[in-house]
Amino acid sequence: MKKCLLGLLCLFISIQLFGQSLESDRLALIAFYQATGGNNWYDNTGWVVPGNPGDNPCGWFGVTCESGRVTKLVIKDNDIVAPIPAAVGGLSALKHLDLSGPGGEFLYFYGDLPVELGNLSNLEYLDLSGNQLTGVNVSVINNLTKLKHLSLSPYHNWSALPSFANLVNLEYLRLAVEDAAMQGEGMVGAIPAYMGNFTKLKTLIMRHGGVTGTIPSSLG
């Protein structure tokens, strides 16, 4: 009898923890939606905002869940003109984040990266390309040590390549200016020697970036 009661108690606690975790994800998604003008998105199918506690966000447009947590968010080319909101840092189980834009003069995310992005310690895939993001706070990406895929479009005042020395699990790295007319305006500086530590790297793209100097021997 005691074992049965203990089992039921553990099950109840597990359900409660599951609900709280998914609920915190839902609240982070709602804050993201509201901060980016979700009512004006090209596609916001299934999003229930503000909704009610206990609503399940799994299956909302661009949202994928695994084991009761939001692990994938893909909101790209979706008529969003806004900074990336701090709320994205509340999706603590996220493994895949794609907020890529169309590039050029079309609609996009812009401005500074939120420092909260550095909280996504489980992230393996990050695509922020095709947007007009400044170099301010971009160093928070260096906290995402599980990243395997990173794609960025440096824009205007990136005075130098940021330090991504901790991203030793990268297999794909793209630092490319989308608009050839802006060639040389995105980044200034040499390829950093620390890239020689990216021993898992299979793809490196640094097109139209304005990178100067010689290729470091460490890259070999």
Print pLDDT tens along the chain (220 aa). 444 444 444 434 443 444 459 999 999 999 999 999 999 999 999 999 999 999 999 999 999 999 999 999 999 989 899 999 999 999 999 999 999 988 766 668 999 999 999 999 999 999 999 888 887 888 899 999 999 999 988 766 565 677 899 999 999 999 887 655 444 455 556 777 888 889 999 998 887 666 777 777 777 7
CATH of the domain at 136: 3.80.10.10
Q: How far is CA 126 from CA 129, 163, 183, in A?
A: 9, 16, 23
Question: pLDDT value at position 52?
Answer: 96
Question: pLDDT value at position 193?
Answer: 81
Rounded-to-integer distance, Cα 65 and Cα 52, Å: 19
Sign for the CA dihedral angle at 136, 140, 142, 147 comes to negative
Instruction: Give the torsion through C-alpha atoms of 77, 79, 84, 88, to 10 deg.
Output: -70
Question: pLDDT value at position 205?
Answer: 85
Say how many C-beta atoms besides its own lie within 10 A of residue 107's C-beta: 16
Domain with 131 in it: 2-219
Question: pLDDT value at position 13?
Answer: 40
Count how many domains the chain has.
1
- Nearest of 130, 65, 115 to residue 95 by alpha carbon: 65
